[in-house]
Every structure is written in C-alpha cells, then in structure tokens.
C-alpha cells in the first residue's frame, strides 16, 4: 500500500487518528526518494562485483529501505537488519513482533522475524541462535549470492568466524553505503532543508533564551525539545560548552552555570525530520557583548570558513583543496578540529577531509549534489576560550550553495 502524501512517511495510515504535516512534507515524493536510494545501493554493489549486502547499521537500513524502528537501540544491539540483493527480493529482518511497522513500505518485498544471537537477548542460547542465523545466510547465498561473497556493515566476532568457516567471504559494506549516499537527489535535498530549518528554529530559541545563571544542560535541552516536537529523531552528540570549557574543544554539555561575558559554543549534530542530519555550529557570548579576544577568535573562525568556501567547486580534488585551504596559525594548530570538511546526509558521511598533518583524505573530488559542511575551531593552545563554527552546503553547478541560514554573529 502506498502512503498518502498527507501522512508522515514513518506512520502507517489509519482511519482513526489525525497527523500534523511535517515541514515540507507536501514537497517530497517519498516513493521517488526511496527508489533513488535503493537504486544507488544496488549500483554500488554491482560496481564492486557484489551480489548482495546485509545491513545492521540503522542509518544504512534507513537509507536502503526507509524503515525505522528503535534506531539508537539498534546501534548497539544486532537485533534488526535487512538483506538487499542486486537481483531478488529485499528482506527486512524485524525486531520481535514489530513486523507491522513497515508493512506500508512498498520497496520491502518480505518481512521476517530477526534471528538474534547476542548474549543480552539469548544468554547461554546465543550459540544455538547464531547457528540458526548462519543457516539463514547460507539459504540466502544459495538463492541470491552464489559467489559466497557478501557485504556486511556491522557484525560481531563470532558471526564473522562462523561465516568464514562456511566459506562465505565478508566484504565491508561501509564503502558501498558511503559511496551510495554521497550524491543527493532533489527529494533528499528537500528533506535536508527541513531538518536544517528545525535545527535553526532550535538554535534561534537557544540564542534568545541564553542568560547568565542558566546551565549548559538547560540551554542544550532547547535544541532537543525543538527537534522532537517538529518530527526529529535524535542528536548524535552533546557537544556544548561555555567559558574555559570551550578550550580545548569537544567537551560535552554539563551542569556548569554559565556566566555573563562567557563564550558558549555548540555543534548541533541533529538527526531531524525524515532522518536527515542538520550539522551546524554556532558560538554566542552570554550578554552578547564580545570582548576583543573573543572577537579575534570569532573573526578567525569566519575567515577559515569563508576562505575554504570560495575554494570548492565541482571537479576540484580533495588533494588540491588541502593544499590551498586556509592555514591555521601555529599557536592554534595543536587545538585544531578533527577535519576541515566532511560529508553530510542521514548523518556525518564520507568524505572526511583532515588537516595536512593528519593524513587528509586525498582520493576523491568534490561532485555536484554532494552535501558537505565546513568546520572551524579556533582556540589557542593554553588559551582561555575557543570558538566553533560550522556551515552546511550543497555543491552546486558553480560552487558551494549555503544550506544553513541562521546568521553568524555581527561583531
């Protein structure tokens, strides 16, 4: 059964309840979106001479079949997965008694109960359950990947050993899915715009509500609330800090009370509506009065993003970008961020382009309809505070097109 356009894509239509439309829902052709993504997965399998994949990562399952169930739980439990062959039926192996949740999705040909073999779920019966799963994979192999080679993204040691014992070779599906996800369709871009708009609604409220005496956790909770009440799903990290906790970077939100005149910086990492990520960073000052040192840090962060923004165009190699990218002064280099650029989609995606000394990604080029973020963290080694900024972009015909529109600070 196909979804009616007015019903949210994750909810099976029923007659006895009313749903509120999500942001940009009427603009998205969900059938076209799903078909595009599944086709991308199959084309990547063919490109790598593979006949099928088994996906456990909930983000990859979402990309391939647009089916969702307890995503965060299934990131650390092998209790839900799918089988995608190049030729043959797609099969969702669903969590216990949850088969009904995805019956409305027309790209899923069959739904079977998941066979789980982890110790939490099965205790001393885990080995017995693993044998059942191996037999299931052997049956799939006999019918759909007779080469005895299959791509799998996440698997534990006992399962790898057992498959190898049966002569089944495992190829890492991470490469397959990352390459499939890198070029966005028009419907994906609409989904991403919706996620960014929700994030920016939360960021605007964070800025307006920020005041001395508020804890970091209180401020951070505003983004979570805004995301959930607008159809979003989860937030991958909780990176928000204030004052001297902003240097070095990557400290998580705490119960620290924020004081007048302190920098507050954060990274949204927000998986919003339709499962797409809005990944932007902003830095404010409590009381909105930047001192001279804070202005210097903020201006440097803006300069780095602006410089790198002007460089990138379709066809530019990552290697050339690294060579021409903004040069971080020595006194700040030891506190550099983990990358200058990374891909973005359902979450952070390939590529991740690092600084020259960190073995930066060199084996690729920027392509039209890639979506990326530009990163900057500026904090002197041994300094008091730091500034984190990040913007999200589409690689367009002639260069980067800004997707994140929450204004930077006017200092």
- In angstroms, what is the C-alpha Rg of the chain? 23
What CATH code is carried by the domain that includes residue 289?
3.90.230.10
375 lies in the same domain as 233: yes
**355-373 residue pLDDT tens:** 999 986 678 999 999 999 9
What CATH code is carried by the domain that includes residue 128?
3.40.350.10
271 lies in the same domain as 310: yes
Last residue of a domain, one of 154, 181, 208: 181
pLDDT at 63: 98
Average confidence (pLDDT) over 300-313: 98
pLDDT at 3: 34
In a domain, residue 306? The reply is yes
Which pLDDT band holds residue 326 (cuts at 50, 70, 90)? very high
Detail the DSSP E strand segments found in 195-254.
Answer: 234-235, 240-242
Sequence-separated (6 or more) residues with CB below 8 Å from residue 56? 74, 78, 80, 81, 152, 153, 154, 155
204 lies in the same domain as 164: no
pLDDT at 359: 84
166 lies in the same domain as 217: no
pLDDT at 246: 98
Q: Look at the chain and report how many structural domains it folds into.
A: 2
199 lies in the same domain as 295: yes
pLDDT at 15: 53
244 lies in the same domain as 305: yes
Question: In which order are the strands placed within the sheet that holds 52-55?
Answer: 110-113, 91-94, 81-85, 52-55, 149-152, 169-172
Last residue of a domain, one of 141, 156, 181: 181
pLDDT, averaged across the chain: 95
Whether the link from the prior residue into 411 is cis, omega within 30° of 0, is: no
193 lies in the same domain as 335: yes
**180-190 residue pLDDT tens:** 999 999 999 99
Q: Residue 68 is part of which domain span?
A: 25-181
162 lies in the same domain as 283: no
pLDDT at 79: 96
In a domain, residue 98? The reply is yes
Percent of the chain with pLDDT over 70: 96
140 lies in the same domain as 227: no
In a domain, residue 18? The reply is no
Sequence-separated (6 or more) residues with CB below 8 Å from residue 273? 22, 23, 191, 194, 195, 198, 230, 231, 232, 233
Q: Please state, in angstroms and rounded to a whole number, the distance separating the CA atoms of residues 78 and 66.
A: 18
Last residue of a domain, one of 162, 181, 200: 181
Q: Is the pLDDT of residue 54 over 80?
A: yes
Percent of the chain with pLDDT over 90: 92
| pLDDT: which is higher, 121 or 17 | 121
Average confidence (pLDDT) over 154-179: 97
Q: What is the value of pTM for the model shown?
A: 0.94
274 lies in the same domain as 356: yes
**3-50 residue pLDDT tens:** 333 334 555 545 567 888 889 999 999 999 999 999 999 999 999 999
* CA-angle at 16, arms to 11 and 22, nearest 5°: 40
* CA-angle at 71, arms to 68 and 72, nearest 5°: 170
DSSP string, 78-103: ---EEEEESSS--EEEESTT-GGGGT
200 lies in the same domain as 173: no
68 lies in the same domain as 198: no
């Amino acid at each position: 059964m196909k979804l009616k356009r007015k019903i949210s894509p994750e909810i099976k239509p029923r007659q006895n309840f009313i749903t509120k439309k999500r942001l940009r829902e009427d603009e998205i052709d969900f059938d076209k979106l799903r078909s595009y993504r599944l086709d991308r997965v199959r084309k990547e399998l063919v490109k790598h001479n593979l006949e099928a994949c088994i996906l456990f990562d909930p983000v990859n399952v979402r990309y391939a079949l647009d089916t969702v169930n307890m995503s965060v739980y299934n990131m650390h439990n092998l209790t839900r997965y799918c089988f995608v062959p190049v030729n043959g039926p797609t099969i969702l192996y669903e969590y216990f008694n949850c088969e009904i949740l995805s019956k409305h999705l027309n790209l899923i040909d069959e739904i079977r109960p998941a066979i789980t073999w982890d110790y939490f779920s099965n205790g001393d019966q885990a080995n017995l359950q693993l044998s059942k799963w191996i037999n299931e994979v052997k049956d799939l192999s006999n019918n759909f990947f007779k080469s005895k080679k299959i791509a799998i993204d996440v698997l534990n040691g006992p399962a790898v050993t057992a498959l190898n014992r049966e002569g089944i070779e495992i190829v890492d599906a991470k490469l397959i899915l990352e390459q499939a996800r890198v070029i966005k369709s028009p419907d994906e871009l609409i989904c991403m715009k919706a996620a960014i708009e929700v994030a920016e609604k939360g960021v605007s409220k964070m800025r307006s509500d920020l005041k001395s005496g508020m804890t970091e956790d209180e401020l951070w909770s505003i983004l979570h609330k805004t995301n959930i009440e607008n159809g979003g799903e989860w937030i991958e990290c909780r990176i928000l800090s204030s004052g001297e906790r902003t240097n070095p970077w990557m400290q998580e939100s705490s119960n620290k009370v924020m004081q007048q005149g302190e920098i507050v910086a954060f990274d949204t990492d927000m998986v919003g509506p339709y499962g797409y990520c809005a990944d932007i960073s902003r830095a404010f000052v409590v009381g909105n009065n930047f001192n001279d040192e804070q202005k210097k840090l903020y201006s440097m962060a803006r300069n780095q993003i602006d410089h790198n923004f002007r460089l990138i165009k379709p066809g530019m190699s990552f290697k050339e970008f690294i060579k021409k990218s903004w040069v971080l002064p020595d006194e700040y280099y030891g506190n550099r961020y983990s990358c200058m650029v990374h891909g973005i989609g359902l979450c952070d995606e390939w590529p991740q382009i690092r600084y020259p000394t960190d073995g930066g990604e060199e084996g690729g080029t920027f392509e039209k309809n890639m979506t990326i973020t530009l990163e900057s963290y500026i904090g002197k080694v041994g300094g008091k505070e730091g500034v984190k900024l990040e913007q999200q972009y589409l690689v367009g015909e002639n260069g980067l097109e800004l997707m994140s529109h929450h204004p930077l600070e006017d200092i």
